[in-house]
Chains A and B, each alone.
Chain A
Amino acid sequence: MSEITLTLSRRRVDRPAVIDAGAPSGHTGPGHALRGMQELHEGEQAAIVRVCDGSDAACARRLFDLGFAPGASVVKVRRAPFGGPAVYRIADYEIALRPEQARTILVGTESSEPVQPGAYAARSFAA
């Protein structure tokens, strides 16, 4: 394993500080609790709050590398029939995920101000 791979495999994409993001800052009230991304309706837009690494940290790091970063905005474009995968638009492209993986990504209602990837996380740290 190369040095860079070792460094990358030690990344923590599930930052503890982001877990309670929004709770104190006010824009996610009781009605806007965090949801798994698979719960989004077709066409609904949301902001990614957390990429959970509970069961599979390698998977969480991969989802992060695919663009599912805290603060990024995501749209569920459409879903396959019979509980199959769904297409999400993230980081200016479209990708299909199965519900099992989408569930590990928690989203909150997007604030009205445009969110830059990275900025959301930074703000959470500040809060």
Chain B
Amino acid sequence: MSHEHHGGGGSVAVAEGTPRIALVGSPNSGKSTLFNALSGLHAKTGNYPGVTVTRYEGLTQTPAGPVIVEDLPGAYSLDPISPDEQVVDEVLDPDCDRPTSPDAVLATVDATTLRRSLGLIAQVLTIGLPTTVIVTFTDELARRHGRLDLVALERALGVPVRGIAAGDPRAVGELREHLTHARHWPRPVIPPPTDPDEVSGWISSVLASAGYRVPDLDTRTQKIDAVLLHPVWGTIVFFVTMFLFFQVIFTVAAPLQDLVQSFFDWLAGLVQTYVPDSWLTGLLSQGIIGGVGSVLVFLPQIALLFIVISLLEGTGYMSRAAFLMDRVMARAGLEGRAFVALLSSLACAIPGIMATRSLPSAKDRLATMLSAPLMTCSARLPVYVMLISLMVPADVRFGPIGAQGGVMFLLYLGGAIASMGTAWFFSRITGRRQGQLPFYMEMPPYRLPRLATVFHAVWDACAAFLRKMTTIILGATIVLWLLLNLPTPSAAQLQQAGIDPADSGAVATYTLDHSAAGAIGHAIEPVFEPLGFDWRINIGVISSLSARETFVATMGQVAAASDPENPGTALETMTVDHGPRAGEKLFTPPVVGSLMVFFMFALQCIATMAVMRRETGTWKWPLIAWVYMFGLAWVMSFLTHLVLGAVL
């Protein structure tokens, strides 16, 4: 986007002097719903400088012109306990005059949890900025026979108070009008107390003077919770829900992904037909269109994932699922909510990393992001299938279990264990510096998810992914294609090598063998030699950086198999061409085993790194992740090679 500020990305471009309003509120207080209603689809997202906290900013039109609205991270208190809450404190600090300092504050409170929420309001009012309090869920308060006199509350607080029921467009329109004179909203004459005892008294007196009647317990929520949080039924429902969730992002997304893939195949075909045959044809059809296509196939998965996640969050089931899973996740130093991100990573680490947005603490977000790529994603599947068929004959069985399936299971298990171990490791490291956060999680009443909220979540996720795709991922794919395909061999070179220029398969093999990537494959041989990889496997490993499954096709090309998609047979007979092992079979069980382990651990995916960069706002974490996982992969592959070589 043309108007993204460096470092503090996500600012909207407006004339100087445009009023700036910060939205403050606790999680679940309807703050983001209000933000979406005010800013529409024009919100800009970015990162606060130096922290993995996403910043949302939008523009809303009022009768007096545009107003900037900034949706601050949800906070229970201005006494921050996480980087997310520190952001709230820094933005609101009245002594710190930045261009991004707000002129006024909109504070949201859930009418049904008013007693707790007023604590935050008391703190916000002591800042002394012009403030309006927005009371949300007033419809739910009425449904549960609660009562609140907004006019009396306004008198008690000394600042304007507005009520808003879920999805009430008229109230939003009135609020827009109210925003026009934000700079002139009254500030509280006497700031509320900060002393713990006095603030409890202040809250009680405000509630009493506002005629607040506590809403009845939500019988609907109690009835549902009795089942969904039941030790037996709740656990069963949880596993069924997660199974369906996994089905949606894995199976339901598949035909949509095929559709995207066939569209790009068709497009590449068009280019091959109509662009005169040259290296440009290859770059356009395979490099650019193929590259974009291989990344865009993730879009249906991301959209579906965010539909399901925002439905789970909107209904309130996410908190229940996290509640049930917390004990298990705590062993890895994470909390229950990280479970969904790790589960999504079984389909693909990209939506998995994006799903970490639902985690409230930046520390957990990082630890989960770093562990997500180790879960066995669907792109590893073709690689595993090919390698397993090279190592284990299809008819070997241990009792009822086929050996091939058994190895596949071990690979999935290994990935999951590595992922949990990594989460544990990184939450210890980052935890030591930032201090352990206490775990607490509000259990909101069950509510019907709002369509607009679901739509916004999906839109945000897809737009962010596409923005990144068009820059980093596309660039990286093109570079990779050039490495694998340049220099183009001349006719004379082909003749010298005795290759028929009409045999496109042989030409492709020759090009790849003599490409820049081939040269790199030779150059990095010392690094991979201890793992048993030769320079041709190295080419495959380099090419798999664009997407792991590319390894299969590249190895096919390297082996000049007649069918590059099924190179198994040709690969089996491949021999080492130089060095001490010359003449021996290349794909011995120790080499295949070490390759499998390498793919289990290594972060062979540029797209994952790009998404990690987007979500953390810095290249630091994707680089740390890559180095960490490469180191892990190398050591584990080396050990596998050693052990298998000694045993077999």
Contact = CB atoms under 8 A, between A and B. Distances in A.
Question: Real complex partners, A and B?
Answer: yes
Interface in B188-231: 194-197, 200-201, 203-204, 214-215, 225, 229, 231
Which of B114, B200, B435 is most buried by chain A, counting CB atoms within 10 A of its CB? B200
Contact of A93 (B94, B113, B439): B113
Interface residues on A, range: 35 or more
A66 B442 CA distance: 9
Interface stretch (A20-28, A32-40, A54-62, A106-114): A54-62
A24 to B, nearest CB: 19
A2 to B, nearest CB: 4
A100 B327 CA distance: 12
A77 B95 CA distance: 43
A121 B440 CA distance: 24
Contact of A117 (B200, B319, B327): B200
A102 B643 CA distance: 48
Given A94-B443, A96-B440, A101-B439, A65 B200 contact: no
A89 B115 CA distance: 12
Given A62-B81, A80-B229, A93-B113, A121 B197 contact: yes
A4 to B, nearest CB: 5
A118 interface: yes
Nearest to B205: A118
Interface string B114-149: 111001100100110000000000000000000000
A47 interface: no
Nearest to A118: B200
A61 B326 contact: no
A84 B234 CA distance: 14
Nearest to A67: B116
A2 B194 CA distance: 14
B79 A9 contact: yes
B79 A65 contact: yes
Nearest to B115: A91
Nearest to B231: A81
A65 B327 contact: no
Interface of B: 76-81, 89-90, 92-96, 112-116, 119-120, 123, 126-127, 194-197, 200-201, 203-204, 214-215, 225, 229, 231, 235, 319, 323-324, 326-327, 330, 336, 435, 438-443
Closest 7 CB pairs of A and B: A118-B200, A84-B327, A2-B93, A8-B79, A65-B77, A91-B116, A93-B113
12 contacts: A3-B95, A11-B196, A62-B76, A69-B196, A85-B336, A92-B112, A93-B113, A96-B323, A96-B441, A98-B439, A100-B438, A117-B200
